Structure 1
Amino acid sequence: MAEVVMSSESWARSVPSENVQGLAQEMGDTCMEIPERYIRPELDVGVTAICDDDDDDDESGSDDKVPIIDMKRLLDPNSSLEESAKLHSACMDWGFFQVVNHGVSDEVIEKVKVDLEEFFMLPLKEKEVFAPLPGGLQGYGQKLVLNEEKLEWQDMMFLITQPPHARNFTFWPTSPPTFRSTLDKYSTELKSVSRCLFDAIAKNLGLNPEVLCGIFKDHQRMRMNYYPPCPKANQVLGINPHTDAGGLTLLLQVRDVQGLQIKRRGKWLPVEPLEHALVVNIGDALEILTNGKYASVEHRVMVNNKKERLSIAAYHSPSFDHIIGPLPELKQGSCEEYYKTMKYDKYLEFHFIAKVEGKNHMDYMKLNK
């Protein structure tokens, strides 16, 4: 697959945006105000920023905790039925879950964390060597910014990681020296984890195990996120409320700093990642393929007032020319078809130009609005 490049003329017009890490540093040095384009007056009044002195003790019940799936138990014949039922419930009721004992070695996880931190701590000039081409997505910087939309309080590195022949090493950092080999190992091991999850999900839906693996095989992209601290963290967002476009997203949090929140029953619920766990969520493509049995969930990222936050998200998606629509096996008999069928790249085009906020964009994909 060639490098992913979005035409700013045919999809959206990208406008330049400032490096947030540098902006945060300047604010700390000069006490300057937050630029207007980052201010979010519409933020939920009842939701505050994540502060470094927040109490870790949570008095809420288990219903406020994202489900935990044990991959070792999922693969063990003696416990797979019980763990598969937990996975099915997590996909049906939450759309988010954490995976432990997933098989990615602690050594690889710790190494990818260290290398990612080292990269984001490099001087800006060294990182800008890996900036995206005009209209492109791969590389270091801000996401595609549409016209005068509000900006997110984060910098990112976006790379195609699977299949290996699709990688464009022009955008892969060379500092630290181990970055490329570390990311290669991590990407390969995550590919195995995603395959196990797609296999188990297919079985839970009564599908041939190869159905979902065939759709999502070898298509992985990674987004590495850096959220600088913000003195007025309750006025900005690290990432806007949104759903992911693909099949499954596997997220690794680099530091023990909260920020990820999911929308559940109309309220924002913080996700507290377990050490070395992967936070997994359902994407729009999987919702469409399952005819709504499993649904993508709106989520966002808040920033900390004193501490930086880092994470790395791996998106497992269909190929651009794959046709997505409710799978025939899931619309048999009297079952109504709820979603349109179209090429995945056409859906992505809409996903980008619709200025995605929340989940309203999915109305476009539904047959009965």
Structure 2
Amino acid sequence: MSSNPDMAYVPNVQELVKSDPSQVPEKFLIIRNEEDEPRNDLSSRIPIIDLSLLSRGHKEELDKLDQACKEWGFFQSNCACTGGESLSGNRIVAGDEDGTAKFFELPLEEKNKIRMASGEFQGYGQLFGASQVQKMDWSDALLLSLYPEQNRNLKFWPTEPEGYKEVIEAYSSEVKRVGEELLRSLSIIMGLEKHTLLSLHKELGQALRVNYIPPCSIPDKVLGLSPHSDTTTITILMQEDDVTGLQIQKEGEWVPVKPIPNALVVNVGDAIEIWSNGKYKSIEHRAVANKSKRRISYASFLCPHVDAEVEPFDNMVETSRMYKKVRYGEYLFSSLKGKLKGKAHIETAKAGN
């Protein structure tokens, strides 16, 4: 068990459901208003982009990427590999999904062998501890650092089920390749040299968060993940095909991101918002629970090196700089000190703050 006093009393949501599926403790209950109701009719408008065309410099697809980042901050890709084979449809991902299901089915005492410890952001459990006033998310997670490789702490990597560790590594290597291709395309649409963003990610930071949201008897009274924007450069998400849980903010409305078979979801992070001087915005998103099905998703966070300095590119500044220069590591770690709340953290990077 963790030595972290906060972690000591964070309830395991999966175990709560096992013990009594009808009960939801008060610390998870939230109040929803009419504005929280999702707009299902807008889901079909979320952009779909072919990453294989992007990798070949296809102008129409680059224009679509520009519009997606400006207007939505999110898009789905129905071709997630630059080599033509869909990342989400290959054997690696099939093994990842099977291994993940088996991992979360392990007894709690087995999973707790890699439980997050004090001062660590790797392992199993919940990233943030509970408090008297903080509402908890209806989810458990496995969080691992992948790149740079020296950041890996293997004592927090699962040893069961057999072979799961290797599948995670293979999947994350493929995501890294896709992410690097996306950084090249983002450089182009920002009017930069193709490798400019990659040069700011010489030691690309990449972490994986596997989210497990159990079913809930009153799904409209809990949140699997609270609304937040990502402090990343970009985030690449794989979600299961049969459960819709991700919702994004669009002009004050919550829009469900309905899974497309063999597709990935990509979203703009805070670093891109700063580099683009606000042209491309990181968007609030959340995850909701389902009454009868559990939901598993795989969020890969791609970030600059902790020593990288992030500020608006000169060519993106038309009149004034919206953001000041920030050292990325300081920006990231300050966000990890408490539960993310909407877009509150990026306000600390605004010019004048």
TM-score higher than 0.5 here? yes
Structure 1 residue 113 displacement after superposition: 1.2
Q: Does 1:19 align with 2:4?
A: no
Q: Work out which of the residue numbers 188, 193, 200 in structure 2 matches 1:215.
A: 200
Q: Work out which of the residue numbers 51, 59, 74 in structure 2 matches 1:96.
A: 74
> Which residue is 2:263 aligned to?
277
**Contact 1:253-1:311 within 8 A present in 2 as well:** yes
2:299 aligns to what SS in structure 1? strand
Structure 1 residue 47 displacement after superposition: 4.2
> Higher mean Cα deviation, 210-219 or 132-141?
210-219
> Which residue is 1:113 aligned to?
97
> Which residue is 1:39 aligned to?
29
Q: Does 1:244 align with 2:244?
A: no
Name the aligned partner's letter for residue 62 of structure 2: S
d(CA) in 1 for partners of 2:271 and 2:130? 23
For the structure 1 residues 150 and 317, does the alpha-carbon distance in structure 2 shift closer, same or farther, using more than 3 Å as the test? Answer: same
d(CA) in 1 for partners of 2:36 and 2:30? 12
Structure 1 residue 75 displacement after superposition: 2.6
Q: Work out which of the residue numbers 257, 263, 274 in structure 1 matches 2:243.
A: 257
CA RMSD of aligned residues (A): 2.3
d(CA) in 2 for partners of 1:61 and 1:339? 31
1:120-135 matches, cutoff 5 A:
120-135=104-119
Q: Work out which of the residue numbers 245, 268, 276 in structure 2 matches 1:290.
A: 276
> Higher mean Cα deviation, 157-166 or 147-156?
157-166
> Which residue is 1:345 aligned to?
329
Summarize deviations over 1:94-138 as a string: whole Å, max 9, x none: 100011212226111211111111111111111111111222110
> Which residue is 1:72 aligned to?
52
Summarize deviations over 1:203-238 as a string: whole Å, max 9, x none: 011111111112234210000000000001111000
2:248 aligns to what SS in structure 1? strand
> Higher mean Cα deviation, 162-171 or 256-265?
162-171
d(CA) in 1 for partners of 2:9 and 2:130? 9
d(CA) in 1 for partners of 2:42 and 2:224? 27
Structure 1 residue 368 displacement after superposition: 5.6
> Which residue is 1:309 aligned to?
295
Percent identical pairs in the alignment equals 35
> Higher mean Cα deviation, 161-170 or 298-307?
161-170
**Contact 1:15-1:146 within 8 A present in 2 as well:** no
**Contact 2:309-2:328 within 8 A present in 1 as well:** yes
1:128 aligns to what SS in structure 2? helix
1:246 aligns to what SS in structure 2? coil
1:74-223 matches, cutoff 5 A:
74-76=54-56, 80-103=58-81, 104=87, 106-145=90-129, 147-148=131-132, 149-217=134-202, 218-223=204-209
1:272 aligns to what SS in structure 2? coil
**Contact 1:222-1:315 within 8 A present in 2 as well:** yes
**Contact 2:143-2:208 within 8 A present in 1 as well:** yes
For the structure 1 residues 49 and 284, does the alpha-carbon distance in structure 2 shift closer, same or farther, using more than 3 Å as the test? Answer: closer
Structure 1 residue 276 displacement after superposition: 1.7
Name the aligned partner's letter for residue 97 of structure 2: K
Q: Does 1:299 align with 2:292?
A: no
2:20 aligns to what SS in structure 1? helix
For the structure 1 residues 156 and 49, does the alpha-carbon distance in structure 2 shift closer, same or farther, using more than 3 Å as the test? Answer: farther
Q: Does 1:323 align with 2:309?
A: yes
Name the aligned partner's letter for residue 287 of structure 2: V
**Contact 1:354-1:361 within 8 A present in 2 as well:** no
Name the aligned partner's letter for residue 359 of structure 1: K
d(CA) in 2 for partners of 1:262 and 1:61? 11
Structure 1 residue 165 displacement after superposition: 3.2
d(CA) in 2 for partners of 1:61 and 1:337? 33
Normalised to the residue count of structure 2, the TM-score between the two structures is: 0.91
Name the aligned partner's letter for residue 300 of structure 1: R
> Which residue is 2:84 aligned to?
none
d(CA) in 2 for partners of 1:226 and 1:44? 25
Name the aligned partner's letter for residue 98 of structure 2: V
1:222 aligns to what SS in structure 2? strand
Summarize deviations over 1:1-40 as a string: whole Å, max 9, x none: xxxxxxx89xxx7663011000111122xx4x31111010
Structure 1 residue 45 displacement after superposition: 3.1
Structure 1 residue 163 displacement after superposition: 2.2
Summarize deviations over 1:24-62 as a string: whole Å, max 9, x none: 11122xx4x311110102x23354599xxxxxxx6x367
**Contact 1:130-1:172 within 8 A present in 2 as well:** yes
1:244 aligns to what SS in structure 2? coil
Structure 1 residue 146 displacement after superposition: 5.4
